[in-house]
Amino acid sequence: EAGVVQSPRYKIIEKKQPVAFWCNPISGHNTLYWYRQNLGQGPELLIRYENEEAVDDSQLPKDRFSAERLKGVDSTLKIQPAELGDSAVYLCASSKDRVYYEQYFGPGTRLTVT
Amino acid sequence: EDKVVQSPLSLVVHEGDTVTLNCSYEVTNFRSLLWYKQEKKAPTFLFMLTSSGIEKKSGRLSSILDKKELFSILNITATQTGDSAVYLCAVGNSYGGSQGNLIFGKGTKLSVKP
């Protein structure tokens, strides 16, 4: 079974530039999560999707971050414009069910904003 | 505020040693506690503990959950250099719209020397 796929693996941009991350979850997993992980910290949830619906985006900085999961499968997370403080690893995870099943993580995208 | 605290933050041992990693939590409406191993980027799932499964074992790794005292431990026996990683503890709640969301600790960085 293929795992969670993310791209790109690394991204270096200048501040004020836009950037987008892509995630394809494990087949059959209805729930998709985007996390941000700063150095020395655990992952922090940005947004959770149930199929194509964003059911929890309370931690997403909506002034510059946006996300979509149009067909309930793959998802894109965008930052525009990026700030220096956005440098982090952005992780995507998926699970069969948000309550009863564990989450599986993708390899993440390391974003560096200069 | 919900929180998960792991200790120690870092640990250095020699091959063959046994280690115990700690995770304490304060979470409203506890649902589950999960352990992940993070070597490079993606956290990989180890165990999920719930009210119906408070002890898990897989090879040299084992974990228990004490719901009364609100903590969990992860034991690794006969450590190997391949066990070197950051071990993350996460707790999921069972309340409302955030049901199933995970709150992560900062992790314990384990280094196993030959």
- From first to last of its 114 residues, what are the pLDDT tens digits of chain A? 689 999 999 999 999 999 999 999 999 999 999 999 999 999 999 999 999 999 889 899 999 999 999 888 999 999 999 999 999 999 999 998 766 678 999 999 999 999
Short-list A51, A101, A45, CA closest to A71: A51
Q: Do A107 and B106 touch (CB under 8 A)?
A: no
C-alpha distances in angstroms, B35 versus B18, B47, B94, B114?
17, 5, 18, 25
Give the residue among A77, A103, A92, A111 at the shortest CA–CA distance from A6: A92
- Residue B68 confidence (pLDDT): 86
pLDDT in the model for residue B96: 62
Q: Which pLDDT score is estimated for A102?
A: 85
Residue B12: other Cβ atoms inside 10 A = 12
Question: Rounded CA gap, B57 and B98, in Å?
Answer: 29
Of the candidates A55, A102, A104, which has its C-beta nearest B97's C-beta?
Answer: A55
CA-CA distance, A113 to B22, in Å (whole number)?
A: 34
Q: Which residues of chain A neighbour B102 with C-beta distances below 8 Å?
A: 43, 45, 103
Specify which residues A21 forms β-bridges with: A77
- d(CA B80, CA A58) in angstroms, rounded, equals 41
The list of chain B residues with pLDDT below 70 reads 53, 95-100
- Compute the distance between CA of residue A59 and CA of residue A57 in angstroms, rounded to an integer: 5
Instruction: Say yes or no for a CB contact (<8 Å) between A98 and B100.
Output: yes
Distance from CA of A47 to the nearest CA of B (A): 10
Q: Which residue of A has its CA nearest to B45?
A: A104
> In chain A, which among 39-98 make CB contacts under 8 A with chain B?
40-45, 48, 55-56, 58, 89, 91, 95, 97-98
